[in-house]
Structure 1
């Protein structure tokens, strides 16, 4: 299925208005700055080959059952009964993770969290960086998996200035073009245009230090970009080659670890092309399992490290021990 304007608008139309208004499409940039200052840092660091990786927990979001396309309560209950995840008010709490990678004297971020764009319980990534002893000005590169507010919101300060004053921003050309397409934005219902507003504002301060990726290939020293389309048109994963070991950062390939490994064809309202999303997910999970890859993702349970196991026609997730890499 080709990602097009109709597919994107369909995804927005499927999303409940209340969900859009409370974050994903809200255009307010005025969440209290003191909220970030009060955030509790939650980080986990480990060494992988010649790289030091720090997982930064930004906070948690409630993923309501109404946001799943073709949600089946009986199937969900069967899957949840086999693990420890539980519904709270018809929602599953999903984490929002970002990553600091220190390698060869350089500091790189993959995704930047929400800052103060999506309400209380989020916005802790900056506090995590401070706890790791890393100043924003020391970040050399930011790799974005895609331009949704829980990934790009932390790019800017409350006044709209760049949060990482010296960093180059790296994002897929296809992703950049989509969110900067005035024709697509004009076709979105007015109440949902905040998606585009947030996307454009978050990346605007980096327009003079921007690298736009053309397909798959080198994204930064030691990092290869992998096209993972479906969730957004230019959704991108990054493979770290750390010498003797590697790690796949797969962005939003999985939103709910509780359900989507066992039910890999389940998609959510914010997937621009649900069919392609499921296809990309199966292909990538197959590869991760076959190659025994170490994987991490923005919405895997903290500290978000593990491997994918084949399980019949579906998959299972095997988390790495907390002591991983120590």
Structure 2
């Protein structure tokens, strides 16, 4: 049986970081479980109203499924749900999928993947952007949902150089306040300090002309509004794109594994920092996007990560777009 310290390290449900790598354990593949096959091409386009939305794969990690993964459900019950969907029960494949919104001449990237800090099956964002006809130099705005390493590490390479040098980087004010708080960093368990260090490595050298903090509910760029979804992290934020009476919701880490936490929204993944708040907002958002029939995209959803949510029993099912 996989021991908790092997999978997470210490502390409050937040992913531990490998020493010096700034990579959350959650994003690191276990080599003895085989290697997931990366789809080709690693991008998918869709039109919604007057905008184009592109999902762009950064990579896939394969992690063992242990008893600690779902904090409030027996492992046998978790495996039974996966079996009922024809999915493996000894591991979980975790895609990392940022999105690009092209609207009104603007090219907006939402989250950035692992960059050079992932394993051989990650860090594909820049090459897949080029393949999609959107080189990094064309990105004018980067929106960040939260500060976990698999969402921010693609902003800089290992030399500290910016991947999207011409872009404004927009971050939730509540998220920035938490990770940049010296007292919170000092009080954090050892296994959490890497996440604080990583946020500072990524953002501290950005001046006010590049780094922009936004308030909950703000329209961050025309046609894209932030949606507070606190719980996974203190400032975890979703984004709603609207055009011609239609909407697309970027769900970030509202659910890390939709086959588990959409089907059972009250289950708590081990790295939600405030599990009760995460459960509450998960149900609220799923109810909202289901009733509105909105297109959705999730950072960890099965690639190409586009689809819609439908009500199923006590929860919801992700129906991917073909």
Q: What range describes the TM-score normalised by the shorter chain of this pair?
A: 0.7 to 0.9
Change (3 A) 1:199 1:25: farther
Secondary structure of the structure 1 residue equivalent to 2:263: coil
TM-score for the superposition, normalised by structure 2: 0.86
Look up the match of 1:314: 315
Change (3 A) 1:197 1:290: same
Look up the match of 2:11: 12
5+ residue gaps, structure 2, are: 1-8, 27-38
- The alignment covers a number of residue pairs equal to 297
Change (3 A) 1:13 1:255: same
Distance 1:14 1:138 in 2: 37
Deviation at 1:292, TM superposition (A): 1.3
Deviation at 1:25, TM superposition (A): 7.1
Look up the match of 2:221: 220
Map Cα deviations across residues 98-151 of structure 1 (whole Å, 9 max, x no partner): 011111111110001111223231111111111122221221100111111111
Look up the match of 1:296: 297
Do the aligned partners of 2:247 and 2:294 also contact (CA within 8 Å) in 1? yes
5+ residue gaps, structure 1, are: 1-9, 27-38, 322-326
Give runs of aligned pairs for residues 1-326 of structure 1, distance below 5 A.
Answer: 12-14=11-13, 23-24=23-24, 42-63=42-63, 64-65=65-66, 66-87=68-89, 90-208=90-208, 209-321=210-322
Distance 2:15 2:147 in 1: 20
Distance 1:53 1:16 in 2: 30
Root-mean-square deviation (CA), in Å?
Answer: 2.2
Do the aligned partners of 2:264 and 2:314 also contact (CA within 8 Å) in 1? no
Do the aligned partners of 2:14 and 2:273 also contact (CA within 8 Å) in 1? no
Change (3 A) 1:59 1:212: same
Do the aligned partners of 2:12 and 2:273 also contact (CA within 8 Å) in 1? no
Secondary structure of the structure 2 residue equivalent to 1:255: coil
Deviation at 1:255, TM superposition (A): 0.5
Do the aligned partners of 2:143 and 2:169 also contact (CA within 8 Å) in 1? yes
Distance 2:73 2:246 in 1: 38
Change (3 A) 1:132 1:54: same
TM-score for the superposition, normalised by structure 1: 0.85
